[in-house]
Amino acid sequence: MSKFAVLGHGVVGSGTVELFLKNKDRINKQSNIDLDLKYILDIRDFPGLPYSDKFTKDINDILNDDEVTIVAEVMGGVHPAYDFVLACLNKGKSVCTSNKELVAKKGAELLKAAKEHGCNFMFEASTGGAIPIIRPLHSCLAANDITAVAGILNGTTNFILTKMITDKMSFADALAMAQRLGYAEKNPAADVEGADACRKICILSSLAFGRHVYPDWVYCEGITELTLEDVSYAENWGGEVKLIGSVKRTEDGKILPMVAPRFVCSGCQLANIDDVFNGVMVFGDGFDQVMFYGRGAGKLPTASAVMGDVIDCAKRTGTDLSLFWEDSEEPDFIEDYQLDTVQMYIRVNNSDKAEIEKLFGEVEYLSREGQPENELAFITPAAAEGSLNAKLEYLGEKVLGKIRVFDM
Ligand code: HSE
């Protein structure tokens, strides 16, 4: 018999309870386990639910109950989630979390605590919602040297971009809809400014390359500067604008993690991932490339990944399932993004082709409906990002926008 507790009864927490109770008999039969839910921790009251008797406001009820061997942490945020998770691990209780901020900021320490106490720290739900990506990376693909990972890692921004592009919905309306559907973070700035995708690329980078990558070390841009004009030029170029989280090994053996909007050509699988869906491409020496796709946010999709971890812990009690990566003190293994070679989409006004070609060389000009006479948009040849940025600085206020071209 395995008993588990759920910390937090918000969107994902209530989804986790709902999914488990709905499928409990099937789960126990098919996994050959005897799993049951004992507690739900939340400071709020939830009267009138069929499982209202399971609520507690005191973490000590869970910590001091030896019957509870698995804890699902779905509260979000670092505090108090970190304190609760560490306390559970220190008591030898396995923890399964959807909390990407917690994993991105404290993952190395929590993995170490789990190892020291003979339990597991699992976080399949932290990245890509329902998509299995953590487990494939550290088990199914474990024989390979991973060279790069890139994907659409935030459902809210992908939903907003889709609504803006296909339904011509305003940014504010699309964001409000994503919030109503339970996709967005409590503070949606974390979605639209790229912090959420950044946490996820930190987790995937740490996992793929074996050293903890902290969010502060990663260059991150969101979609707040993106305009419908940029979207039109992307269409004319033959692609779409997507918020991409990526990491790759560089020639000097460092890694380059980054989050930024990108022009993605329509032939690339990532260009066709719409709505709240996420997609992650992984590149490695043996398997070449694989692609993972599914719902990246939302109540039940995220609950599905949380419960997958809980079931795994219940099935394999006493087994070391946690992956591991080393902590890192300095970002000396992170490449300076300005050294990367990129092609860039640039939109300027009050310039002319002679000035642009003198600066950037042979560019590919783009057009859009309603393009003002004094506006130019173009794709540069590939060059070091630092040198392109120096040219943009020279152009100063003439620059209306710039977006990197995705090239993996
Ligand atoms: N706000 C996140 C997203 C939730 O939109 O992707 C899932 O991590």
- The Å distance, Cα 44 to ligand 1 centre, comes to 23
Q: Which of 160, 162, 185 best tests ligand 1's pocket when mutated (most atoms within 8 Å of CB)?
A: 185
Of 93, 100, 200, 242, which residue is the catalytic one? Answer: 200
Q: Which of 191, 273, 295, 304 best tests ligand 1's pocket when mutated (most atoms within 8 Å of CB)?
A: 191
8 Å CB contact between 264 and 282 = no
Q: Smallest Cα–Cα separation from 161: which of 262, 306, 69, 62?
A: 262
- The Å distance, Cα 358 to ligand 1 centre, comes to 43
| Ligand 1 binding site (Cβ under 6 Å of any ligand atom) | 129, 154-156, 183-185, 191, 196, 296-297
Q: Is 24 a catalytic residue?
A: no
Cα–Cα distances in angstroms (integers) from residue 368 to residues 235, 269, 365, in the given order? 9, 24, 11
Residues sharing a CB contact under 8 Å with residue 161, sequence separation 6 or more, in sequence order: 223, 226, 231, 240, 241, 242, 243
Indicate yes or no: pTM above 0.95.
yes
With b for 16 or more beta-carbon neighbours within 10 A and e for fewer, the 344-359 pattern comes to bbbbbeebeeeebeeb
* Residue pLDDT tens, the chain, 408 long: 899 999 999 999 999 999 999 999 999 999 999 999 999 999 999 999 999 999 999 999 999 999 999 999 999 999 999 999 999 999 999 999 999 999 999 999 999 999 999 999 999 999 999 999 999 999 999 999 999 999 999 999 999 999 988 888 889 999 999 999 999 998 999 999 999 999 999 999 999 999 999 999 999 999 999 998 999 999 999 999 999 999 999 999 999 999 999 999 999 999 999 999 999 999 999 999 999 999 999 999 999 999 999 999 999 988 888 788 999 999 999 999 999 999 999 999 999 999 999 999 999 999 999 999 999 999 999 999 999 999 999 999 999 999 999 998
**E strand segments, 186-227:** 219-220
Domains of the chain: 2-129+300-315 (3.40.50.720), 134-295 (3.30.360.10), 337-405 (3.30.70)
